[in-house]
Amino acid sequence: MSRFTDHLPPTRIKSSSVKIQEMLFGYLAAPFCAMISNAVFGSYLNRYYVDVLGWTKFGVFATLLPMLSSFVVILGNLLVGQWIDNTRTAAGKARPYLMLSIPMIAVAIILMFMTPTESSAPVQMIWIALTYNLYYALAYPCYYTAHSSLVSLSTRNPSQRGLLATLSNASTVAAAGVGASIIAPILLQPLMFVSGPNGIDITASYANWRIISIVFAVLSAVGIILEYFFTRERITEESLHLNLKEEKIPMSKHIKACTSDKYWRLVILFILVFQFGQLCKNSSMSFYSRWMFDSVVNSANPESASAAIMSTLGLVGGLPAALGMFVAWPLASKIGKKRSIVIGLAIAAAGGLIAFLNVNSFPIVCTAVVLKGIGIIPAQYVMLALISDILDHLEAKNGFRSDGFTMSLYSSIMAGLGGLGMGLINAMLTFSGYVNTGYAVDPVEVKMIDDLASWTGDIIYRQMGGTEQVLAFVYLGVDIIAGILSILILWKMDVEKYVPEDQKTIIEHQKAAVLAEGGTWIDPEERQRMEQEEADRQAEEERIRELKERCEKNGLDFEEENRKYFEKMEKRKSSFIGKLLG
């Protein structure tokens, strides 16, 4: 790893405080490009497996693979987290793994959609199992664990960190809400699932997926590269500037330090419960849109009709989330992070219940989706900032940070629960009698499914009452239950009151360590001021040099152009973003 990190290019972010360039590129635009493919997979991968590859014909494989793979996914994420915790480079501890993930993600995405469909069922199952785990257990954890760690490593300034957390979560919300739920249904769904005379045209759909996978691979790589260049780990750099020798902390020590803290336990449990509800909803959305509304089922082109329904649901649910980016942090700053999340989840749960007035009514379901979208705004945007507070609290208590372990567990939950949710949905669809219309149906296989449901799933089958009831439960009901449980989990989450004390303790620990090694202690604010002055001086020299060259080349007056520049800077300082950044 050392040879790899020794040759990494430097970040383009030179400022010691967070500026607009870092916010918009490093935490919003770049992650959006990097994560949109994963968001689309969250909505469509299971349906690709079911309706294009027809993997329900493989029996229990469709249920067991994503569930059993969850354990491999967790191990992969924990491994990456351990790497991050034991990495110290000029590029940071997490950012090097962004670069490492680029070829891994590109290759894994392409291979997932190159299944040899002409081969035997065992060969196809092996290919699906290997490529699924290559992506979810290794490639994506390498990116997402590093990405998730960046907010807590970016700065100790609570306001700036809150803004970065908001933007980082906005990129995730946009990838799922805009990319996977609006853009993909409109532009890609008719290509992903091509309508044929007897249902889905399997051959054409498979060919289109192969092309789409290459596009996603390139887009992900570009996004990750941009994220690397437009982010900076200021907290990691503290130990480098202070010349402190840091021991490599074994995972067992991280586990003990984290699990002994009640706030850490509560936030991990919250993430587990809340994200399970969201992932079940997202994974079942394409199925729900395809089969729950008469206007789609009776349409001459049901795939186009369901794409329009899905994009509409994505729009009405995603619009509040998009607007929420501007209110989430000010609200959390005013009433507190935990309180804003709890109040929001209560609104989401109450709104979700409206859908059960008529689960087949598009206007009623839309109304519920809007209210749920409004309610989960604080949880989506503020949670990373709350996790950062907990990581600082752990550092103050233990004398070392556990970003890698914590965020690897965070990404394990996100990826692992996706597999569990996929398996749950597949099991319920099988027991409810779901049949893909793109494949010829063998009456013997149908009889076997019915017998299996009667033997092992009769209770589930009777309670759900068929495919419609299953889809209503996984799309509408699971996240309502998860939201109510999340409120109970967060009820005693009061770590925010320790933030000023924790920041003071961390500085005292750093000062003692520097003096113990015979170094000279410089107050962090003074060190930041000196670093910023030097960065500003270099940037100003470079700006003047470039401006003079441009003026000489184009026959412009240097003094006039320089005056225009300073006027522009004054306007930027008085803008909304400028005031937020101070």
Report CA-CA distances (Å) from 194 to 109, 129, 393: 21, 25, 52
Is residue 513, in this structure, part of any structural domain at all?
no
The pLDDT of residue 577 = 55
CATH code, domain with 166 = 1.20.1250.20
Q: Three-state DSSP class for 89?
A: strand
pLDDT band at 229 (very low <50, low <70, confident <90, very high): very high
Is residue 250, in this structure, part of any structural domain at all?
no
The answer to whether residues 535 and 446 belong to one domain is no
The pLDDT of residue 56 = 60
The answer to whether residues 170 and 282 belong to one domain is yes
The pLDDT of residue 340 = 94
pLDDT at 112 > cutoff 90:
yes
The pLDDT of residue 450 = 42
pTM over 0.75: no
Regarding predicted confidence, which is higher, 243 or 331? 331
pLDDT at 260 > cutoff 80:
yes
Regarding predicted confidence, which is higher, 108 or 6? 108
Is residue 194, in this structure, part of any structural domain at all?
yes
The pLDDT of residue 453 = 38
Is residue 27, in this structure, part of any structural domain at all?
yes
Q: What is the mean pLDDT of residues 344-354?
A: 93
Where does a domain end: 470, 502, 534?
Answer: 502
The answer to whether residues 452 and 545 belong to one domain is no
Is residue 305, in this structure, part of any structural domain at all?
yes
DSSP state letter for 92: B
Cβ atoms 202, 54 nearer than 8 A: yes
The answer to whether residues 141 and 216 belong to one domain is yes
Is residue 21, in this structure, part of any structural domain at all?
yes
The pLDDT of residue 242 = 64
Residue 460: what residue type? I
pLDDT at 496 > cutoff 60:
yes
Q: Where are the beta strands (DSSP E) in 465-574?
A: none
Q: What is the mean pLDDT of residues 442-446?
A: 41
The answer to whether residues 108 and 169 belong to one domain is yes
> Could you write out the three-class secondary structure of 337-358?
HHHHHHHHHHHHHHHHHHHHHC
Task: Give dist(CA 521, CA 531) in Å, integer.
Answer: 15
The answer to whether residues 352 and 448 belong to one domain is yes
Task: Give dist(CA 417, CA 74) in Å, integer.
Answer: 10
The answer to whether residues 367 and 328 belong to one domain is yes
Most confident of 49-58, 172-181, 441-450, 553-562: 553-562
pLDDT at 492 > cutoff 80:
yes
Task: Give dist(CA 264, CA 391) in Å, integer.
Answer: 8
Regarding predicted confidence, which is higher, 110 or 68? 110
Report CA-CA distances (Å) from 306 to 198, 264, 296, 297, 475: 17, 41, 6, 8, 15
The answer to whether residues 436 and 495 belong to one domain is yes
Is residue 208, in this structure, part of any structural domain at all?
yes
- Please state, for a pLDDT cut of 90, what percent of the chain lies above it: 27
Report CA-CA distances (Å) from 527 to 468, 532, 534: 62, 8, 11
The pLDDT of residue 482 = 94
Report CA-CA distances (Å) from 189 to 109, 365, 557: 18, 21, 54
The pLDDT of residue 448 = 40
Q: Among the listed ranges 125-129, 239-243, 449-453, 496-500, which one has the minimum average pLDDT value?
A: 449-453
The answer to whether residues 66 and 115 belong to one domain is yes
The answer to whether residues 464 and 556 belong to one domain is no
Is residue 172, in this structure, part of any structural domain at all?
yes
Task: Give dist(CA 90, CA 97) in Å, integer.
Answer: 13
Where does a domain end: 502, 530, 561?
Answer: 502
The answer to whether residues 495 and 571 belong to one domain is no
> pLDDT, tens digit, for every residue of 455-481?
333 333 333 346 788 888 889 999 999
Spatial CB neighbours of 287, under 8 Å, sequence gap ≥ 6: 47, 425, 429, 471, 475
> pLDDT, tens digit, for every residue of 521-572?
777 777 777 776 777 787 788 788 888 888 998 888 888 888 888 888 777 7
Chain mean pLDDT for the chain = 82
Tokens representing 126?
């092996």
Q: What is the mean pLDDT of residues 118-123?
A: 85
Where does a domain end: 437, 467, 502?
Answer: 502
- Please state, for a pLDDT cut of 70, what percent of the chain lies above it: 88
Supply the range of the domain harboring residue 298. 2-237+260-502
> pLDDT, tens digit, for every residue of 129-148?
999 999 998 999 899 989 98
pLDDT at 258 > cutoff 60:
yes
Count of structural domains within the chain: 2
Most confident of 55-64, 87-96, 459-468, 529-538: 87-96
pLDDT band at 57 (very low <50, low <70, confident <90, very high): low
pLDDT at 322 > cutoff 80:
no
The pLDDT of residue 110 = 96
Closest listed residue to residue 276, CA positions, set 483, 426, 468, 473: 483
Q: What is the mean pLDDT of residues 236-241?
A: 74
The answer to whether residues 528 and 473 belong to one domain is no
The pLDDT of residue 324 = 80
> pLDDT, tens digit, for every residue of 404-431?
888 888 877 877 777 777 777 777 777 7
